[in-house]
Amino acid sequence: MNTSTAKKSIQKAYGLKLAALALGSALVLTGCAGDPPSAQMAVTQSAVNEAVSGGGNQYAPLETKSAQDKWTQAQTAISNKDYEKAKRLAEQAEWDARLATRKTQAAKAEAALQDAQKSIQQIREEGMINGELQQKQNQRQQ
């Protein structure tokens, strides 16, 4: 009889520990959901500012506008104390801003490549012209 009582007692203690763990986890998660996502908001603001200042409005206007709009919505959600929505919108705005930054960098690199290719072509053409002039001068001297 003692063995059966001991097993029931252990099972009951295990059940209580499990319930306490579940309750504690729920409280921790609720506590996290109740805090403004300050770190995410700071990261997002920086990413949006970088996209705009880097030329995102010119080179990636859709992505930059999307990032700005979601950033504004995230700020509104913070004001309304809807922190879960604010965090989600801030994350989306951050990724839109990062995409805008990358597209801007790619477009600028492409433009620089085209400028370099034009310069090389001009140098080649000048070299050919100079070479032709040199040949004509050599022919006159002979």
- Give the pLDDT confidence of 84-112 residue by residue, as tens digits: 999 999 999 999 999 999 999 999 999 99
Total of domains in the chain: 1
82 within a domain of the structure (yes/no): yes
Please answer whether residues 63 and 96 qualify as being in contact, where contact means their C-beta atoms are separated by less than 8 angstroms.
yes
| Residue 135: pLDDT band with limits 50, 70, 90 | confident
Q: Is residue 48 one of the residues assigned to a domain?
A: yes
For residues 15-25, average pLDDT: 51
Q: For residue 124, is it within any domain?
A: no
In a domain, 132, yes or no: no
- In this structure, is residue 16 part of a structural domain? no
Residue 78 placed within a domain: yes
- Report the CATH number that the domain containing residue 65 is assigned in CATH: 1.20.1270.390
Q: What average pLDDT does range 27-50 have in this prediction?
A: 82
Place of tokens 């965090």: 87
85: containing domain: 37-114
pLDDT of residue 79: 97
How many other CB atoms sit within 10 Å of the CB of residue 76? 13
CA distance 65 to 54: 14
The answer, yes or no, to whether residue 19 has pLDDT greater than 70, is no
Give the CA count within 13 Å in the CB-facing half-sphere of 116.
6
Residue 63 lies in a domain: yes
Task: Say if 69 falls within a structural domain.
Answer: yes
> How many percent of the chain have pLDDT more than 70?
75
